[in-house]
Chains A and B, each alone.
Chain A
Amino acid sequence: MIKVHVYVTLKEGVLDPQGSAVTNSLHAMNYEEVKNVRIGKYMELEVENTKNVEQRIEEMCEKLLSNPVIEDYTYTIGEAVSS
C-alpha cells in the first residue's frame, strides 16, 4: 500500500468567497501582510501499489475528486504504508 496526497485548488480566475472572508478576517486581526487566501482541499488516499497507479489516480481526480470546470488538482505519491 502507498499513500497518495491529493491537493485540489480553485482554478486561477475563479473567485473564492471563502478565501476572501478569511483574508478579511486576517486583516481584522492585524495580519495586513496577507494579500490573498485561496482555500482548497487536501485528501489522503491509501492505495494498492499497482502498475498503472498514476493513471488511475489521475482518472479519479478528473472524474470525482476534483471538478475540472472550477478546480485544478495535483498529487504526490508518498511513503509506503502497512495495510
Chain B
Amino acid sequence: MKFAVIVFPGSNCDDDMFYAIQDGLEEEVEKVWYTETSLAAYDAILIPGGFSYGDYLRSGAIARFAPVMESVMEEAEKGKPVLGVCNGFQVLLEARLLPGAMQRNKNLKFICRPTPLNVVSNNTMFTTEYEKGRNVTIPVAHGDGNYYCDDKTLEKLKSNNQVVFTYETDINGSAAGIAGIINEKGNVLGMMPHPERAMSDLLGSADGLQLFQSMLKNWRESHVLAP
C-alpha cells in the first residue's frame, strides 16, 4: 500500500507521519509537495499536522486552496482513504470535506499532552482494529481544537455514526467532546489527536498503530486478490 504525506509550507508533523508509515506500518510512503497536481499514484492520502501558511487568517484556510487540494478532493470523491490529523483536520474542515469548523480552545491555551480518547465507532476503514468503546491514549497538540458545528449537523453526525473519537474528559470545549469525525461516505477521517506520535510503547503509547493497521487491512481486503 502506497501512502502520500502532503507537505504544505508550515507543516511540521510530516516527518512523524512519514516514519509512522515507513517504520511503524512498514509500508511504502512518499512526501508530496503542495504544488503537485496528481495523487493518482497513491492508495491513501495523509494530511499531517503543523501550521500550514502560519495559520494565517484561520487554521487551514489558505492551505485549502493550495494546488494539491484539487486532487485531494478528487481522490476523496473517488473513495480513496484520506486522513487529516490536527492541522490536516482543520484543512479538511476548511475544504468542506468534513462538516463544522475549529475555534480557539475554550481555555485559550495550547494543549500538548497524551490524552485519553474513546473509540466511538470501530466500523470505519480507519478503526476496525480497535475494540468499540475502547479507551486509547493518543497525544494532542493544538491551540485551535475546539470543534464547532450547529445542532442539526451534530445530530446528523451522531445518528450516522460519524463521530469516531471523543475525548474522555472535555479538554478544549469541543461540541459533544468530538476529537475525530468521518464523512458520510466513510473514507475521509479528521482527528485532532496525533496517532502518528503514538506508534511505540517506548515513546509512551502504541495506540495509534491500530489506526494505520486498520487502513492497511481494509485496503488489502478490497485491493489484493486472494492467492
Q: Do A and B bind each other?
A: yes
Interface of B is mostly: loop
Q: Is A80 an interface residue (CB 8 A)?
A: no
Query: What's the Cα separation between A17 and B182 when bound, in Å?
Result: 26
Contact yes or no, A14 B57, CB < 8 A: no
> For A14, A63, A69, which residue has the most chain B Cβ atoms within 10 angstroms?
A69
Decide yes or no whether A65 CB sits under 8 A from chain B: yes
- Within the complex, the shortest CB–CB distance from B38 to chain A, in Å, comes to 23
- CB-CB under 8 A from B207, the residues of chain A are none
Question: In the complex the two chains form, is B108's CB within 8 Å of A67's CB?
Answer: no
Where the two chains meet, the residues of B that have a C-beta atom closer than 8 Å to any C-beta of A are 57-58, 61-62, 65, 93-94, 99-101, 103-108, 146, 148-149, 173
CB A31 to nearest CB in B, in angstroms, measures 20
**Per-position contact with B for A38-50: 1 when CB-CB < 8 Å, else 0?**
0000000000000
Q: Is A1 an interface residue (CB 8 A)?
A: no
Interface of A (DSSP majority class):
helix
Which of under 10, 10 to 19, 20 to 34, or 35 or more describes the interface residues of A? 10 to 19
Shortest beta-carbon distance, A79 to chain B, in Å?
A: 25
